[in-house]
Amino acid sequence: MIDMPFAFGALSNSDDDIYPVTRITTGAVGEPGRRLFILQAHVGDEPFSWVVEKDQVRALGRAIPELLADVRREFPELGDPLIAATPNLELSVPFEPIFRVGSLGVSYDRLHDMVVLTLVDAEALRDDLEQDADAETGQNIHLTRGQAFLLSQQTERVVAAGRPICPACGEPINDFGHFCLPLQRRAGEYLQ
């Protein structure tokens, strides 16, 4: 499930808040076609990691620039975000994911001028009715607009580093090829 709501609100004060983030990145480990995608935030030297889906990384990379454009339009007095000249966007290893993300949201906290990523545990989404009210089901990561901008650029690089995409069907091409219905139709190999 990919959920990218845009919202303007205030910074919550929850134990599930990751703040202040000193570094945030996303990356993938493994071979193309079998990669594990990780979202990672640091508070000081302490890393926090979550497993995310490739589609969530791609959606995040599209949602953040849209949100930043909305913020710029709505609050022109804020100016451009400060961006690190040489950001460290490499994953810290080893990493121990807190949970697999089932739902991912992006919002803006105007009061604190922060972009907030809301991560919901995939297990919590599946077991929503049986979930203990005190169980940890999600976390909020609070980023500066500059950190969010760099994260959106990193998501593009991470997604692009995977398998090439077939221009005819939009599906990934494996080392051994792939079944492409549009190409087979053009070649006359597909009979109805």
Residues 133 and 45 in one domain: yes
Range of the domain at 57: 8-161
- Residue 3 neighbours by CB distance under 10 Å: 15
Q: Which pLDDT does position 181 carry in this prediction?
A: 76
Please report where in the chains the tokens 């499930």 appear, as a residue.
1
Strand pairing partners for 100? 51
Residues 48 and 13 in one domain: yes
Q: Which pLDDT does position 186 carry in this prediction?
A: 63
Residues 73 and 146 in one domain: yes
Helix (H, G, I), strand (E, B) or coil at 170: coil
Residues 183 and 128 in one domain: no
Category of 174 on φ-ψ map: left (φ > 0), alpha (ψ -120 to 50) or beta:
beta
Residues 36 and 82 in one domain: yes
Strand pairing partners for 17? 140
Residues 20 and 84 in one domain: yes
Q: Residue 191 carries which side chain, given as an amino acid letter?
A: L
**Per-residue pLDDT tens listing for the chain (192 residues):** 344 544 444 444 445 899 999 999 999 999 888 899 999 999 999 999 999 999 999 999 999 999 999 999 999 999 888 887 778 899 998 889 999 999 999 999 999 999 999 999 998 877 764 555 555 578 999 999 999 999 999 999 999 888 887 888 877 887 777 778 776 666 655 444
Q: Which pLDDT does position 36 carry in this prediction?
A: 96
Total domains in the chain come to: 2
Residues 97 and 185 in one domain: no
